[in-house]
Amino acid sequence: MSINYKNTNADRTTVTRDLENLSDKSGNIYQSLIAISKRSDQIGSEMREELTSKLAEFASTTDNLEEIFENREQIEISKFYESLPKPVAIAIQEYLEGKVYVRDTSKEVEED
């Protein structure tokens, strides 16, 4: 699942959250936080892979000092990723929009 980081409604700064809003969907704040945490890890991993692959395009086998300091495209790519909302903010927004599914696995184990 590819994420469009430019069009996310996630906050780019720290926001105080009402815990009741986070526990509404699962009925349990801890389950909600676990789901958000796992989704945040997925998003962070996806962002790192994407950034690494974009920066790898600029990698050269011979490093000379002039190339390192003059690579404006690489700097712009890095600045873009730094300006994006943090993975946890994106995960919280997805959770609040109902895009993250919370499943209670403890009930599944009891049924087996």
> Each residue of 55-112: pLDDT tens digit?
887 766 565 665 655 577 788 888 888 888 999 999 998 998 888 877 766 666 555 5
> Each residue of 4-40: pLDDT tens digit?
666 777 877 778 888 888 877 778 888 889 999 999 9
- Using left for φ > 0, alpha for ψ between -120 and 50, and beta otherwise, residue 98 falls in left
Element (H, E) at 5: none
Confidence of residue 1 (pLDDT cuts 50, 70, 90): very low
| Predicted TM-score (pTM) of this structure | 0.74
Element (H, E) at 43: helix 29-56
- Here the tokens at position 19 are 């815990």
